[in-house]
């Protein structure tokens, strides 16, 4: 049951007021004579009536389910207010708090994730909002609004669920229609980031502390651990004709990690600001009232945001969040969707630099094929498992053997074997691993 708490009265001057100085009305091409002072008075009264006076009640409940958040706690706080005008109104906030201390800090602390996310919400995303205003972009923002933060352990954001947004079932992956919508949204975000990069508003400080870029102890431990458990599961739990694939992975663990590192030396003309963790549970969708046609999408959880080739976001999304069979059968369509949207949005924001062509996108995708394998092999089973037990004990990465860190069951689920097996075979045939 949600925790309930009764709070006292707020001071009215703690809430922002809206001021306006003039109104002009134009009708049939001619200026009308309107008493703007009177209109301003109406506005002031309206805003005064909407001012919160008393907080009547709050409800606090968990906002993320098992398997959707490994590094923080996320709560929903619903507040019931009494307004100055006498009406009741509800408002909901998301409170995200870092899990302090402990073994997770030893594993993930190098990434500095909370300061990064605070900067994204309070500096970088507002700059993108200003860019949208500059170009009169009336589309929905791609992010939620930050209401405040406590350096650097707590962030408070608007509750998108309260605004009609919802997550989709991460265990079932996304359809082609949803994937295309997500890729178009991602392309818009990347396009805006390139404008900020060209203006110097994104700098070297925004390259982040990505585990790949830093070649960290975490990187050199987590991927060998996951690949070791995966290869053993393939050799001992999959059908016998998969044993060669499991052995191929086991024999090339260090080579795979080295090849992954080389992906992060890239042509700077493909540079963009990456979300860094773009999978289904970090997306909030709004659909049509009748049916499942998406009309708006927002990205959340910006703790791994960093500058990189655009392809990292694209590959991570495609190989963690889209139905694998559909992704394989529609890969060209999906890459075309991203490139067309990237070009369209760069032109919308008057970009004068180089625009990646479809061949560029495909070439970058091929160059990052080892990342596609790693994400399908190590990330997808963690993010999409339907097992009720813990899939990954990240805090024990440095203390326990791999088979106690990764739940082997995530690599033997029927849907994982069925959907990802053909990818593994293709990666072997192509010499990716």
Question: Does 409 fall in a domain?
Answer: yes
* pLDDT tens, position by position, 65-98: 655 566 678 999 999 988 888 899 898 999 998 7
pTM for this predicted structure: 0.87
Q: Identify whether residues 90 and 183 lie together within a single domain.
A: no
Answer yes or no: is 129 within a domain.
Answer: no
What does 78-117 look like in DSSP terms, one character per residue? EEEEEETTS-EEEEEEEEEEE--SHHHHHHHGGG-HHHHH
- Answer yes or no: is 45 within a domain: no
In tens digits, the chain (433 residues) has pLDDT values of 444 443 333 333 443 443 344 344 444 444 556 678 888 888 888 888 888 888 888 899 988 765 556 667 899 999 998 888 889 989 899 999 877 666 666 666 656 778 889 999 999 999 999 999 999 999 999 999 999 988 878 899 999 999 999 999 999 999 999 999 999 999 999 999 999 999 999 988 888 666 656 657 888 899 999 999 999 999 999 999 999 999 999 999 999 999 999 998 999 999 999 999 999 999 999 999 887 899 999 999 998 999 999 999 999 999 999 999 999 999 999 999 999 999 999 999 999 999 999 999 999 999 999 999 999 999 999 999 999 888 988 888 889 999 999 999 999 999 999 999 999 999 999 999 9
Strand partners for 9: 54
Positive or negative, the Cα torsion across 97, 101, 107, 111?
positive
Q: Are residues 88 and 237 in the same domain?
A: no
78 with 187, same domain?
no
Domain count, the chain: 2
Q: Is residue 138 part of a domain?
A: no
For residues 194 and 74, state if they share a domain. no
Same structural domain, 172 and 300: yes
Query: Which domain range does residue 418 map to?
Result: 164-429
Q: C-alpha dihedral over 389, 393, 399, 403, to 10 degrees? A: 50
């Amino acid at each position: 049951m949600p925790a309930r708490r009764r709070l006292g009265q707020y001071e009215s001057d703690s809430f922002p007021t809206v001021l306006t100085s003039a109104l002009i009305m134009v009708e049939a091409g001619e200026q009308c004579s309107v008493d703007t002072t009177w209109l301003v008075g109406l506005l002031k009264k309206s805003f005064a009536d909407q001012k919160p006076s008393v907080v009547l009640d709050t409800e606090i409940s968990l906002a993320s389910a098992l398997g959707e958040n490994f590094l923080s706690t996320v709560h929903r706080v619903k507040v019931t207010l009494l307004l100055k005008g006498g009406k009741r109104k509800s408002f909901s906030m998301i409170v995200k708090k870092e899990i302090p201390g402990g073994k997770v800090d030893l594993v993930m602390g190098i990434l500095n994730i909370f300061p990064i996310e605070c900067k994204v919400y309070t500096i970088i995303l507002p700059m993108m909002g200003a860019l949208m205003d500059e170009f009169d972009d009336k589309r929905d923002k791609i992010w939620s609004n930050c209401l405040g933060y406590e350096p650097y352990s707590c962030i408070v954001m608007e509750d998108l669920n309260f605004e009609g947004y919802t997550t989709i079932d991460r265990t079932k992956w996304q359809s082609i229609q949803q994937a295309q919508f997500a890729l178009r949204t991602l392309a818009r975000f990347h396009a805006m980031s390139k404008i900020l990069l060209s203006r110097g508003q994104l700098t070297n400080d925004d390259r982040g502390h990505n585990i790949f870029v830093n070649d960290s102890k975490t990187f050199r431990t987590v991927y060998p651990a996951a690949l070791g458990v995966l290869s053993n599961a393939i050799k001992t739990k999959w059908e016998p004709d998969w044993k060669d694939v499991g052995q191929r992975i086991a024999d090339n663990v260090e080579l795979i990690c080295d090849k992954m590192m080389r992906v992060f030396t890239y042509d700077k003309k493909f540079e963009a600001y990456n979300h860094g963790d773009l999978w289904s549970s970090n997306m909030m969708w709004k659909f049509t009232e009748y049916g499942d046609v998406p009309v708006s999408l927002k990205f959340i959880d910006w703790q791994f945001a960093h500058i990189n080739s655009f392809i990292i976001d694209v590959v991570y999304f495609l190989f963690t969040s889209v139905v694998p069979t559909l992704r394989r059968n529609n890969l060209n369509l999906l890459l075309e969707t991203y490139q067309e949207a990237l070009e369209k949005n760069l032109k919308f924001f008057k970009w004068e630099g180089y625009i990646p062509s479809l061949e560029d996108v495909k070439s970058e995708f091929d160059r990052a094929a080892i990342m596609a394998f790693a994400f399908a092999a190590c990330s997808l089973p963690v993010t999409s498992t339907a097992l009720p037990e813990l899939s990954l004990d990240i805090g024990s990465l440095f203390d326990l053997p791999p088979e106690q860190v990764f739940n082997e069951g995530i690599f033997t689920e029927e849907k994982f074997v069925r959907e990802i097996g053909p990818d593994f075979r293709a990666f072997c045939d192509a010499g990716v691993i």
